[in-house]
Structure 1
Amino acid sequence: MESSTARDIADVVIRVEGLSKDYTMGSEVVRALRGVDLTIRRNEYVAVMGPSGSGKSTFMNLIGCLDVPSGGQYWLNGQPVAGMTENALARIRNRELGFVFQSFNLLPRASALDNVALPLVYARVPKKVRHERAAAMLEKVGLGARKDHRPNELSGGQRQRVAIARALVTQPALLLADEPTGALDSRTGEEIMALFGELHAQGQTLMLVTHESDIAAYARRVLFLKDGVIERDELKRN
């Protein structure tokens, strides 16, 4: 019989202890992140807020394995990430993490289907399988009929849906979204946030970075960063 401790460990997607990041600017050392401790469990929906210079972008980059910490420990799905080689980090990014950015970052000459399938190319998934999975993800985000369209034939909201489908196609442990509605009008932004809510209801673990309180309000838990530390950690009550 599985122990409660084993279940608790299996339920943790992100755990960081004493996570820090320093940057050297000339003769000055800037402490962007100062010993952050945090646990995020499976199917949590977390928003990260903070003013410019608070450390939220640095934190996102570290969690996304886009940068390496100066100190502390980071476990993703039980794997110790700090100290991994760049090749190992690239594999983690491809297999365990999905990314959604403000600017969509789609290949302009590729169809929606091929854009969504791209992470599976890097993972060396056979072409037939990756196209089937990409088509299923486009259906999931409501764009099944647009799979052959290029980005310039899609609206801003549709392009962001393609980006979300691409982030989901590898079935990541964590979906990371950095200002996902920043390039969208308010109505389209609400539609994208409703889609995130549906994904959360289906079991997806999400973390989004935003400076907008109305966007953060969609999350179930909100972290407030200031001067490189978590100043507040608020959990919504039903």
Structure 2
Amino acid sequence: MEALATDETPTPATEHSLIEVNDLKKRYMMGSQEVWALDGVSLSIEEGDYVAVMGPSGSGKSTLMNMLGCLDTPTSGTYHLRGEDVSTFSDNELAEIRNHEIGFVFQTFNLLPRVNCLRNAELPLIYAGMSKRDRRERATEALRNVGLGDRLDHRPNELSGGQRQRVATARALVNDPSLLLADEPTGNLDTETGDEIMQLLEALHRQGNTILLVTHEEPIAHHARRIIHLRDGKLEHTETVDQPALADEEIELG
């Protein structure tokens, strides 16, 4: 996959941006030493975008993911999600945003081992207070949409690694979030299974989902449409990726 262009500045925000981050900074104190995990990052992500974040260890990838996922708050700067400055929200307000606006897919799956796929997929809907009947219908649909309609009653230990990640993806999508945040989603998978998960993310993107992918693997990052490179807490440069056209049968879900 050929990179078309490299730009030293972030894509300018527009009034239609899903995410607008301006001069985001995060400071940690390690003993008496001041460490800036993020040091003035500005970027925008449009609805329907597919963005990868790359950088070496200590570059700020995880910190940026935590900020955009509303898992942490910045020391300074602003983060607007759908026009709301969530960088000023309380812990309870951030929890509401995480439950309704952001779907998480983690490297370690984070499934409950003693309950089946259906129960795992419907967890966000339980927290949202949805009725049992409605959440079962939506969780079943989400699992079918990732190709696991015949695994509803299986527990995680009865599934392959790729199937577990598909359950985690269904759980992330069950609330129809604004943003799907995938943190090293292929990190615990073999190459073939990892490729299957990336094909799934490609299909979800082509259905209109906005995806932010955090990875240290360049081949994985090049599945995205745009790559943001971080170094020492700063945005080093952005890269636009040319994607080959795929036949419909190559991107079909299920």
Structure 2 residue aligned with 1:217? 222
Q: Distance in 1 between matches of 2:106 and 2:241?
A: 25
Length, aligned pairs only: 230
In 1, Cα distance between the equivalents of 2:182 and 2:242? 23
User: Residue deviations 1:172-205, cap 9 Å, x none?
Assistant: 0000000000000000000000000000000000
On the 8 A contact 2:222/2:241 being kept in 1, the answer is no
Unaligned runs of 5+ in 2: 1-13, 244-254
2:207: which partner in 1?
202
1:119-134 to 2 correspondences below 5 Å: 119-134=124-139
Alignment pair present for 1:236 and 2:241 = yes
Letter in 1 for 2:159: L
Counterpart position of 2:65: 60
Residue equivalent to 1:5: none
Runs in 1 of length 4+ with deviation above 4 angstroms?
none
Aligned to 1:163: 168
Match of 2:106 in 1: 101
1:82 corresponds in structure 2 to: 87
Q: Which residue of 2 aligns with 1:4?
A: none
Query: Is 1:148 equivalent to 2:153 in the alignment?
Result: yes
Q: Quote how far apart the aligned CAs of 1:78 are.
A: 1.1
TM-score by length of 2: 0.89
- 1:234 counterpart SS class: strand
| Cross-structure match for 1:51 | 56
Structure 2 CA distance, aligned partners of 1:177 and 1:128?
Answer: 28
Displacement of 1:21? 0.2
Q: TM-score, normalised by structure 1?
A: 0.95
Percentage of identical aligned residues? 59
Which residue in 2 is equivalent to 1:193?
A: 198
Q: Does 1:38 align with 2:33?
A: no
Letter in 2 for 1:139: R
CA shift digits 1:130-180 (9 cap, x unpaired) = 000000000000000001100001010000000000000000000000000
| Structure 1 counterpart of 2:179, from 153, 167, 174 | 174
Q: Aligned partners of 2:71, 2:223: CA distance in 1, in Å?
A: 26
Q: Is the 8 A contact 2:61 2:214 kept in 1?
A: yes
* Counterpart position of 1:69: 74
Partner of 2:34: 29
Greater per-residue helix proportion: 1
User: What do the CA deviations read for 1:84-114 (whole angstroms, capped 9, x no partner)?
Assistant: 1100000000000000000000000111000
Q: Residue 237 of structure 2 aligns to a residue in which SS? A: strand
Distance 1:197 1:25 in 2: 39
Query: SS of 2:28's equivalent?
Result: strand
Cα distance in 1, alignment partners of residues 71 and 148 from structure 2: 29
RMSD: 0.7
State the distance in 1 between where 2:242 and 2:154 align: 42
CA distance in 1, matches of 2:143, 2:68: 26
Given that 2:26 and 2:76 are in contact with CA atoms closer than 8 Å, whether structure 1 keeps it comes out as yes
**Structure 1 segments unaligned to the other structure (5+ residues):** 1-7
2:87 partner SS: coil
**Matched residue of 1:128: which SS?**
helix
Letter in 1 for 2:46: R
SS at match of 2:219: helix
Give the aligned residue type for 1:44.
D
Matched residue SS, 1:65: coil
Q: CA deviation at 1:237?
A: 3.6
